Amino acid sequence: MKESKWSDEQLQELLSQMPKIKDNRDPREIYQNIEIKMGKQKKRTWILPAAAVAAALLLLFILAPNLMNWQESADKHVEIQSDQTQSSEQITSDNNSISEAKDEESDPEPLAREEDPQEDHAQLSGDPEKESNDDISMKSVSSEISPTAVYEEDLAGKEFLTYAIPDKEAQNIVPVSVLVDDDPDRSKFALFEDTMSKLTEDAWGLEEYYPLKANLTHDQENNILTVDVPVDHPYSMSSTAELLLEKVLANIMNNLDIEKIDLRTEGKVGIEFSHYGYREEFIPENSTGNLIYYFLYPNGADSTPFLVPIREELNSVKDALKAMKQNRTENNLQASIPDDIDFEIEEIKDSKLIIRFNNESEIIDNASTLHAIEAILLTAKDFDFDTVKLENADVDKIGKFDLTEELKVPVAANKRDLPN
Amino acid sequence: MDSVFDELYKKYHQDVFQFLFYMVKNKELAEDLVQEVYIRVLKSYERFEGKSSEKTWLFSIARNVAIDSFCKQKGWKQKIIEKFDWSTQQVKDELPLPEEIAVQREEIQMIYRCLDLCTIDQRLVIIMRYIHELTITETADSLGWTESKVKTTQHRALKVLKNHMEHFKAKEGMDNEGIKVER
């Protein structure tokens, strides 16, 4: 190759000869422009917030009565439901299967009927599709409290892909999993790359991050991933951007079992980062500790939360579950186990965890309890448990979970649907 | 006219304008941004404590203004362009050279174009250190960095410039005197 032709001094000399660029406007003109702008800005500083406050108050005024009514009726509904369960249990305590069937029939179906007259027809005529229809109606009724994670039974003929997506504040990395049709001709990496562009991060309340602004090539033989960025890539705009990329790459390695990542810039070895400097390959830091899960509500407190893992050094799963009762305000994360739920813990042969709720704890069939159970299952999974048994709850069923059985830990957190 | 404005204008206006111009490489935008600098300065002039010199203080504000404008550009323009038209990315380099640069010799034009290939931090340092001839201490002050960070960034920036200058040269050499390069 040719030898270096430019010395630092020559370059400096050249730079100092760069032409002077002058602003040819009259200072008066500039001052006038400034005055106009400052005047505008001053006004804006209070008008906008004031308008926002007024609008919010108005909205609150209109909505408050409705909200209160809605909550009351929801409470009533839950009470009635749990009453029914108890009474029917007392009556048919010797025959569990009947009482369960009764439960199912007594609440979800009347609602389903209101929703969909076709279902009604299917049930009345008792045709062979009844069972599958039943499933659908259950789902549609409990859509409000459907689980958020991916479970083994979701995987029939499907492959799950996990993407690490930063939230809007770039404070957390949220692992989001989507299900795609399994294709035996294609590697998991190929599916991963194809699906990248279909993610709707913005609609989920997360940062638009995929597809990555880089060419990805996967060397299956050596299990090496090559990340090739364009010269003007956005990943060294700030140290946060660099940190996020690092975390996302570490997640990709983990999820796709990749051993090494090579970094390139338009085909040339290495990426020049403005803060970390030059790097040729990516090696994730060795992480210790366990992942414990918290709630993130990017779309408001009424929406379905994301379950976001935080890595923490803890002695036992007991400490982990205790830690999950605390809000993590520094990360904008909410406690995933309500403070008023207390329990004792028993570990059996490493793979099974028993959680016995205290009598004061109110464990009822609603969305927040369901999500809390999922957070417990995910955390238990990270402590290498396979199943979790919940005992002494006030109900036998929460969402899809049958508490009389051992619950299998999920396959992955945060299942989200792709647009068709 | 405001006396503060008057004084600042006399002392630093062309410096600040030139700095902004080399950062954004667009005269109209630089004209807008220099006004933004004055607005921020006039709003916070009472808070200026004289800890740093007036000059580095102005430069630090100008730098923030420049970076904010990059973020704004990235915000909507880039996103839309990237989403809908991948081919436009290559067109970016073809921006016409401003008059002042176009009349200069070739090497100056080349280095001017190479500035685009530095990161924002590197470009800041190059412009402050070599075009405006600020000292390392003044640069560190304006950027709010340590002096050693200025030095390493400066070193890296020169390296980037050098590489790209050679790259350009090599390309031109091929066009003009292909045989010479072959040897």
pLDDT score, position B95: 60
- Give the C-alpha separation, A217 to A381, whole Å: 31
User: Which tops the pLDDT comparison, A38 or B83?
Assistant: A38
- Please give the single-letter amino acid code of residue A84: Q
Indicate whether A323 pLDDT > 80.
Answer: yes
Write down the domain spans for chain A. 108-145, 152-282, 316-408
Write down the domain spans for chain B. 1-85, 96-183
pLDDT score, position A188: 85
- Give the C-alpha separation, A245 to A251, whole Å: 10
Contacts by A38-42 with C-beta closer than 8 Å and gap 24+? A38/B39, A38/B42, A38/B43, A41/B39
User: Which tops the pLDDT comparison, B81 or A24?
Assistant: A24
- Give the C-alpha separation, B152 to B25, whole Å: 25
Indicate whether A55 pLDDT > 90.
Answer: yes
Task: Determine which of A1, A2, A6 to mutate to test the interface with B (most B C-beta atoms within 10 Å).
Answer: A6
Indicate whether A38 pLDDT > 70.
Answer: yes
- Find the mean pLDDT for residues A332-345: 87
- Give the C-alpha separation, B39 to B8, whole Å: 12
Lowest mean pLDDT among A14-23, A37-46, A185-194, A407-416: A37-46
**Contact between A353 and A317 (Cβ < 8 Å):** yes
Interchain contact, A234 vs B74, CB within 8 Å: yes
Interchain contact, A274 vs B119, CB within 8 Å: yes
**Chain B (45-64) residues lying within 8 Å, Cβ to Cβ, of chain A:** none
Inter-chain contacts counted by CB atoms under 8 A, chains A and B = 105
Is B13 within 8 Å of chain A by CB? Answer: yes
- CB atoms closer than 10 angstroms to residue A365: 22
Domain B96-183, architecture per CATH: Orthogonal Bundle (1.10)
pLDDT category at A86 given cuts 50, 70, 90 is very low
Compare all CA atoms of chain B with the CA of A41 and give the residue at the minimum distance.
Answer: B39
Complex ipTM value? 0.78
- Give the C-alpha separation, A225 to A230, whole Å: 16
Compare all CA atoms of chain B with the CA of A5 and give the residue at the minimum distance.
Answer: B166
| Percent composition of chain A: helix, strand, coil (DSSP 3-state, to 5) | 45, 20, 35
**Contact between A141 and A111 (Cβ < 8 Å):** yes
User: Which tops the pLDDT comparison, B128 or A79?
Assistant: B128
Taking 70 as the pLDDT cut, the residues of chain B under it are 1, 49-52, 73-96, 172-183
Q: What percentage of chain A has pLDDT greater than the value 90?
A: 6
pLDDT category at A41 given cuts 50, 70, 90 is low
- Find the mean pLDDT for residues A110-116: 44
pLDDT score, position A134: 44
B47 Cβ contact list (under 8 Å, min separation 6): none
pLDDT score, position B18: 92
Tokens, residue B86: 């991948």
- Find the mean pLDDT for residues A319-337: 88
pLDDT score, position B51: 63
- Find the mean pLDDT for residues A25-30: 87
pLDDT score, position A182: 84
- Find the mean pLDDT for residues A271-300: 83
- CA R_g for chain A: 28
Three-state secondary structure call for residue A334: strand
Is B40 within 8 Å of chain A by CB? Answer: no
pLDDT score, position B125: 92
User: Which tops the pLDDT comparison, A111 or A351?
Assistant: A351
Class of domain B1-85: mainly alpha
pLDDT tens per residue, range A127-165:
444 444 444 444 444 445 788 888 888 888 888 889 999
Q: What is the DSSP string of A9-25?
A: HHHHHHHHTSPP----S
pLDDT score, position A119: 43
pLDDT score, position B174: 60
Is A18 within 8 Å of chain B by CB? Answer: yes
Interchain contact, A23 vs B17, CB within 8 Å: yes
Interchain contact, A31 vs B18, CB within 8 Å: no
pLDDT score, position B19: 92
Q: What is the mean pLDDT of chain A?
A: 78
DSSP state of A171: S
Task: Determine which of A7, A14, A208, A236 to mutate to test the interface with B (most B C-beta atoms within 10 Å).
Answer: A14
pLDDT tens per residue, range A348-382:
776 888 888 888 888 888 888 888 899 999 998 88
pLDDT category at A290 given cuts 50, 70, 90 is confident
pLDDT score, position B112: 87
CA atoms within 13 A on the CB side of A270: 8
**Chain B (135-174) residues lying within 8 Å, Cβ to Cβ, of chain A:** 153, 156, 158, 160-162, 165-166, 169-170
